[in-house]
Amino acid sequence: MALKTGAAVRLIQPEIRGEVIERRISNDDELELLVEWQEDGQPVRRWIDADRVEEVAA
């Protein structure tokens, strides 16, 4: 059903759940985690600041 003007909505955001592949200290002395997750069956990796992720049940 099409949403009407004035309807309250929220943006659909993808949730990223992956595995920590590697850890390192960046040049700014911040702990970074190399996180790998799957998109369309392909592994995608990204270095993420450790304080931007939280541990979840595997």
Partner 1 sequence: MNARQHMIDAIRSMGARMAATSTGHGVERAPATARTDAVYAHGAAQVEQALASGVYMADFWMPHAHRINEVQALRARLAEITATSLLRRLHGDEADAIRLRLALIPHELVWSDTIHNLVTTEGKNAALTHLLKGSSYTASQALGLIEDTGYSAVSATNTAANITASGGGSPANGWNEAPSATVATRGTPSFGTAGSGQLATSSAVSFSTLATDTIKGAILLIRSSAGVAPTTAVGNTSGALYSAGLFSGGDQAVTASGTLNVTYTAGL
Query: Pick from 3, 4, 8, 40: which binds partner 1 (CB under 8 A)?
Result: 40
Query: Pick from 27, 52, 55, 57: which binds partner 1 (CB under 8 A)?
Result: 27
34 binds partner 1 (CB under 8 A): yes
| Minimum distance from residue 54 beta carbon to partner 1 (Å) | 16
17 binds partner 1 (CB under 8 A): no
Tokens of 54: 């939280």
Q: Which residues contact 31 (CB under 8 A, 6 or more apart)?
A: 23, 24, 25, 49, 50
Q: Give the separation between CA 57 and CA 43, rounded to whole angstroms.
A: 20
